[in-house]
Amino acid sequence: MKSRPWAYVLVRLVLIIGAAVGAGLIFGYPLAWVLGSLIAYLGWHLYHLYLLERWLRIGGRQPPRDAPGIWGTVYAELYHLRSRHRERKKRLSRLVKEFRKSTKALPDAIVVLNADHEIAWVNRSAGDLLGLTKGDRGQPVDNLIRDPVFVDRLRSGGLSRPVRIQSPAQRDVSLMLQEFPYGKRQRLLIGKNVTAEERLEKVRRSFVANASHELRSPLTVVSGYLESLIEDDELPEGWRDPVLEMGKQTGRMHAIIEDLLTLSRLETAEAEAEREPVDVAGMLALVRKDARSSSGSPCSMELQLDCSSGLLGAESEIYSVISNLVSNALKYTPPEGTVAMRWWCDDLGAHFSVTDTGVGIPAEAIPRLTERFYRVDKGRERSSGGTGLGLAIVKHALQRHGAGLEIESELGAGSRFVCHFPKDRLALECASGDAQDGPDSDQETPDADNVLPFRNMS
């Protein structure tokens, strides 16, 4: 019966009514007997309801009283429910305590934000690194962390990429902030102290820059003497080839040093490039002209200009991007091949591509191309005069313009390098040449002091 309490209630009710009817038949007034017994039964239930309400009011903590019939089942179920609930609560609060203890021990700042970027919870490190305390709960986080780059990224929803800021709480402390969405439109803002890494990176950069700088002068002297020797008619014939080779190698060393210095300049510059108007069409025509004259490459070059806008950026860096990509394309394309440049704009921004029908790049090498000194075929490329730094320079220069590099290639069929510039880098006023694959343009050379020389492909 215990497993079917309602059957028990019904049987009991039927028995009571049956007994009342029986008594009514024996003593008369059966209806009054039935009514009376039903009222007594109802009163009994009301009494137990009263006891139950009292038991619940005092918290229902004591074991349930020994109640008869369905009330026993109700007490037992409620008691079980409460015990389970209490257990779960205990487990949860243990878990929360553990979580709090572990986040306290974390060296990273952790801030829980709601959908409106208001602070819901902070850990202890958030106080040390970001100056946020428990009392800031409910405040919009951009009222308290006022770094313009951070505020900008937060409002535009771009904090899924880490952003570097100065700690608002401690001088000379750099933080990397990144947001992770979770739950129902909640976000976890994590701040990592990157001061030590930054210092190490600075030391490395200045070492490379200083070493390159120091090497430049002695190398200039050595190459000067070598040039004189090469031009000297009295140089013994047996010496000519070794001296020529030495000249070639010092030239390569020079190119590496210049590229290292360019890279360290790009790395130490502000994260965002300046916004000077750059005439891209004119620059492309100039690059094509320079490439034709300096490379001596017989492969054909095409130029397609589908956009009259220029860019807002650093002229020398954009020139460096274009010339590096074009010189690579020429270097790795056979004389009967084609190198095509294209400049176009669309809703996403502006794009520049260099497509060649050259040797191509194996798929597994593509993700590593922008690493310093990475070469697909070490022997061949060293002999072709490359420094292995060209694409690293391209990547850094593009990053400073908020632009990305896309590489597609098929081994033996050719490669396509596409630079995607964001819309806010478009200079609409800068209308230039309709040099649609026309003859070499005579447009003005970009400021000679700022522009890197076209990369030599010899």
What are the residues whose beta carbons fall under 8 Å from the beta carbon of 268, sequence distance 6 or more? 205, 209
Q: Which stretch, 12-20, 61-69, 213-221, 354-362, contacts ligand ADP (CB under 6 A)?
A: 354-362
Instruction: Enumerate residues 401-420 that contact ligand ADP by CB under 6 A.
Output: 415
Can you tell me which of 375, 402, 404, 441 binds ligand ADP, judged by CB under 6 A? 375
Strand pairing class (404-410; 338-346): unpaired
DSSP state of 3: T
Quick one: tokens of 63? Answer: 């074991």
Residue 219: closest CA among 187, 257, 182: 257
Q: How many CA atoms lie within 13 A of 318 on its CB side?
A: 33
Q: Which is nearer to ligand ADP, 310 or 358 (CB)?
A: 358
Sign of the CA dihedral running 383, 389, 392, 398: negative
The nearest distance, CB 352 to ligand ADP, in angstroms, is 14
* Of residues 145 and 263, the one with the C-beta less far from ligand ADP: 263
Provide, rounded to whole angstroms, the least separation between the CB of residue 387 and ligand ADP. Answer: 5
147 binds ligand ADP (CB under 6 A): no
Measured on CA atoms in the order 251, 255, 256, 261, is the torsion positive or negative? positive
CB nearer to ligand ADP: give 154 or 322: 322
Please report, for the chain, how many H helices and E strands are present, in that order.
Answer: 12, 13
Q: Which stretch binds ligand ADP (CB under 6 A): 25-33, 208-216, 324-332, 423-431?
A: 324-332
> Per rule CB under 6 A, is residue 329 in the interface with ligand ADP?
yes
CB of 337 to ligand ADP, least distance (A): 10
Q: Which is nearer to ligand ADP, 119 or 389 (CB)?
A: 389
Cα–Cα distance between 151 and 147 in angstroms, integer? 6
Any contact of residue 359 with ligand ADP (CB under 6 A)?
A: yes
Could you tell me the smallest distance in angstroms from the CB atom of residue 233 to ligand ADP?
A: 34
Binding of ligand ADP by 258 (CB under 6 A): no
Paired strand residues for 415: 356, 409
For the bound state, the minimum distance from the C-beta of residue 330 to ligand ADP, rounded and expressed in Å, comes to: 8
Query: Does residue 266 touch ligand ADP according to CB under 6 A?
Result: no
Dihedral in degrees, nearest 10, Cα atoms 271, 276, 277, 279: -80
CB of 372 to ligand ADP, least distance (A): 8
CB of 385 to ligand ADP, least distance (A): 8
Distance CA 196, CA 360 (A): 40
Measure the CA–CA gap between 205 and 217, rounded to whole angstroms: 19
Rounded-to-integer distance, Cα 191 and Cα 177, Å: 4
DSSP strand pairing (276-278 vs 310-313): antiparallel
- Size, binding site for ligand ADP by CB under 6 A: 21
Range in contact with ligand ADP (rule: CB under 6 A) among 135-143, 194-202, 282-290, 358-366: 358-366
> Binding to ligand ADP by residue 376, rule CB under 6 A?
yes
CA dihedral 69, 70, 74, 79 (to 10 degrees): 20
Task: Please give the single-letter amino acid code of residue 81.
Answer: L
- Residue among 48 and 395 whose Cβ is closer to ligand ADP: 395
Q: Which stretch binds ligand ADP (CB under 6 A): 62-70, 125-133, 214-222, 388-396?
A: 388-396
| Location of structure tokens 């369905």 | 70
Single residue of 71, 387, 435, 457 touching ligand ADP by CB under 6 A: 387
- The residue of the chain with the least Cβ separation from ligand ADP equals 386
Task: Name the amino acid, one letter, at 409.
Answer: S
Q: Which chain residues interact with ligand ADP by CB under 6 A?
A: 324, 328-329, 332, 356, 358-359, 361, 369, 374-376, 381, 386-392, 415
